[in-house]
Amino acid sequence: MRITSNIKANIRQTLRDLPDGRQVYDIILDQIPSQEDEITISCEWDFPICNIAGRWHPNCRYDRTLKADWAHGEISMSSVSAPLNVFFSTDGRNIKTIAVSEAEKKVNMNVGVHEENGTMKCRVKVFAGAVETPAYKVRILLDDRDVRYEQAIGDAVDWWETDCGFRPAFVPDEARDPMYSFWYSYHQEFTEEDVEAECRRAAELGFRTVIVDDGWQTDDTNRGYGYCGDWEVTEKKIKNMKDHVDRIHKLGMKYLLWFSVPYVGMYSKVWNLFHNKLIAVDEEQKTGILDIRYPEVRSYLKTIYVNAVKDWGLDGLKLDFIDEFYERADTPKVNEDMDCICLQVALDRLLGETMAELKQIKPDILIEFRQRYIGPFIRRYGNMLRVCDCPESGLANRVGSIDLRLMNRYTAVHSDPIVWNERETPETAALQIIDTLFSTMQFSVKMEYLTAEHRNMVENYMDLMRRYRRLLQTGPIKAEEPQNLYPQVSVRDNDTEITAVYSAGRVVTIGKQQKETIIINGTKATEIYIKAENETPAKVIQKDCYGEIVEEKDVILAGITELPCTAAGRLEIIKQM
């Protein structure tokens, strides 16, 4: 590995082997001149491209392809993604995993094909900026073990948590309960009467938490952010927030409230106070992005959130748009009124100080973050990570939630809120829910749109998610064919295995040990193929999307067996052991 820096300093590197077969490069830059404030470290190496089908990284979404070495690479920092790249084979084996210990400051991971000789050229550039000590240390983890790619990702995350000190936040049980969101169903147009009536209906369906999104703080319904920043309740919508939250609590529901963290709108009362303390201005959205390097900006934001939780009795916060905290070309330089040189350090202080006070008020407070701010650094503060906006896209919800599950063995992963047209059939609507099966479901369909059939379908899948919550949300996940966007996903423990198929015609191999196998049909196909390695007597119960039994019979599973299954239904297979 070739290591260079843009400053004159001493560079030391050592390579050590971990007990499990992985390797770590320890890189130390010392004797750093005190005046240096734009320090970078560049690392370069290559390896032969053999048996690689694709590449996974935390923000890859639908693109699992290899790139050329002249591409720009992926940027990560505390507010965006994470420094991790995984190369995998067609059958889901790990070929090479690369992770960097610097999860706070900006890192560019540029790994691309060198066309002349078929090697993967790896370039990692760490933007350390200004450092507070005479030495700076960064580590690079290399993993070429022959293990499943899911394990390679999970072990890299464990390395961040144990070796690098990025311990995730405590996750209350309530973070894993299905939640009703007001975003897609109401956007900014609602009153307290609307919220309370909808919550009564949602509670009857089994929801125990509500998220009230943008709109509570403004009468403007144009979806812009020109009025963000004051965070005062508009009385035309909610007359008394504390009383309103209390009424929701009496329904047995918890209450989360949305805040846009970086935005201060041009029409807000505090615009004149902060208009000269911005890292950027978004003219289209009529808003500025606050510069949290100023201590008074962080203090203002912290006070807003602490008072909201304390005064209104909130159970949690949805803290949005944190990934806007990054430096642009025209971001102002550091000045003497700032107490942080680096935006990412300032973000750490803001979240750290805010969470410390919030936990004094409510130790089990719920905090939602959203893709792209989902890395090991940010997970120290949020206990719910949500898929980025993808209304009515089951595929996007599936891919986003599985990507998050691969990186989060403990933090609760939430789907983007599910929404559908009121004329959608229950079977097709159910496919969206099946796409979110391995996450905590957020739901945003107006209850008045739900027919009796829709309600029965939703209740069926909520009951299934509730009964198998621990396994579905925390069990080790096996997501087949990442290059094909996970056409089959499964979890299992010693007694039960649950598999969802999202592509027709797949053959599901059932485990030898588990007595109970549940196979969920995430397609419109009317049959599922089962493979048993030995002759296996079993009872097969076919259920439709409402949970009603269509057929129940005893069979001998041997080799590959075709079994009927309704669209968006499931098979429950009980082995006669």
pLDDT digits (tens, 9 = 90+) for 314-351: 999 999 999 999 999 999 999 999 999 999 999 999 99
Is 424 a domain residue?
Answer: no
* 350-369 mean pLDDT: 98
* Residue 119 host element (H or E): strand 119-129
236 and 190, same domain (yes or no): yes
456, part of any domain: no
Of 283, 285, 284, 262, which Cα lies nearest the Cα of 274? 262
- The pLDDT confidence band at residue 31, using thresholds 50, 70 and 90, is confident
Please state the rounded mean pLDDT for residues 293-315: 99
Domain boundary among 386, 412, 435: 386
pLDDT-based confidence at 22, cuts 50/70/90?
Answer: very high
CATH number of the CATH domain containing 551? 2.60.40
Mean pLDDT of the chain: 97
- Does the pLDDT value for residue 27 go beyond 90? yes
Amino acid at 442: Q
Helices (H), 322-451: 343-361, 394-407, 426-435
* Cα distances (Å, whole numbers) of residue 495 to 108, 255, 352, 555: 43, 36, 41, 20
| End-to-end CA separation in angstroms for the chain | 55
Work out the pLDDT band at 21, boundaries 50, 70, 90: very high
3 state DSSP class of 106: coil
The CATH number linked to 267 is 3.20.20.70
pLDDT in tens, 79-116: 999 999 999 999 999 999 999 999 999 999 999 999 99
Assess whether 129 and 219 both reside in one domain: no
pLDDT classification of 220: cutoffs 50, 70, 90: confident
C-alpha 83/C-alpha 98 separation (Å) is: 8
The predicted pLDDT at position 494 comes to: 96
3-state secondary structure (DSSP) of residue 199: helix
Task: With respect to residue 403, please indicate whether it lies within any of the assigned structural domains.
Answer: no
Mean pLDDT value of segment 153-174: 97
Which tokens is 529 given? 């193929």
pLDDT for 48-81, tens place per residue? 999 999 999 999 999 999 999 999 999 999 999 9
Q: Which of 344, 360, 386 is the last residue of a domain?
A: 386
Extract long-range pairs of 65-68: CB within 8 Å, 24+ residues apart: 66/112, 66/113, 66/120, 67/111, 67/112, 67/113, 68/112, 68/113, 68/115
pLDDT digits (tens, 9 = 90+) for 502-552: 999 999 999 889 999 999 999 999 999 999 988 999 999 999 999 999 999
Whether 362 and 275 share a structural domain: yes
Same domain, 39 and 146: yes
Judgement on whether residues 16 and 48 belong to the same structural domain of the protein: yes
In a domain, 395, yes or no: no
pLDDT confidence tier of residue 223, bands split at 50, 70 and 90 = confident
| For range 227-233, the mean pLDDT | 96
Task: Please say whether the beta carbons of 444 and 404 come within 8 A.
Answer: no
Q: 97: closest CA among 163, 160, 177?
A: 160
| Spatial strand order in the sheet of 39-48 | 2-5, 39-48, 119-129, 107-114, 74-76
Does 464 map to a domain? no
- Same domain, yes or no, for 110 and 208? no
Instruction: Write down the pTM of the prediction.
Output: 0.97
3-state secondary structure at position 577: coil
pLDDT given for residue 355 in this prediction: 98
Q: Is 549 a domain residue?
A: yes
In a domain, residue 439? The reply is no
Same domain, 29 and 86: yes
Ranges 147-151, 177-181, 184-188, 470-474: which has the least confidence: 184-188
Regarding whether 45 and 181 lie in a shared domain, the answer is no
**Do 117 and 185 fall into the same domain?**
no
Q: How many domains does the chain have?
A: 3
What is the rounded average pLDDT of the residues 355-384? 97
SS3 539: strand
Q: Is 218 exposed, middle or buried (0-12, 13-18, 19+ CB in 10 A)?
A: buried
Contact 160, 415 (CB under 8 A): no
Is residue 221 scored above 80 in pLDDT? Answer: no
**Buried/exposed 515-528: b ≥16 CB within 10 Å, e otherwise:** ebbbbbbbbebeeb
My answer on whether 361 and 481 are in the same domain is no
Q: Is 31 helix (H, G, I), strand (E, B) or coil?
A: coil
| Selection from 263, 258, 261 nearest residue 282 by Cα | 263
Is residue 134 over pLDDT 90? no
Residue 312 sits in which domain range?
177-386
**Does residue 226 sit in the same domain as residue 326?**
yes
Taking residues 22-41, report their average pLDDT: 92
- For residue 102, tell me if it sits in a domain: yes
Res 357: pLDDT: 98
What's the rounded Cα separation, in Å, for the pair 119 and 50? 9
- Residues 235 and 324 occupy one common structural domain: yes
Of 333, 362, 386, which residue sits at a domain end? 386
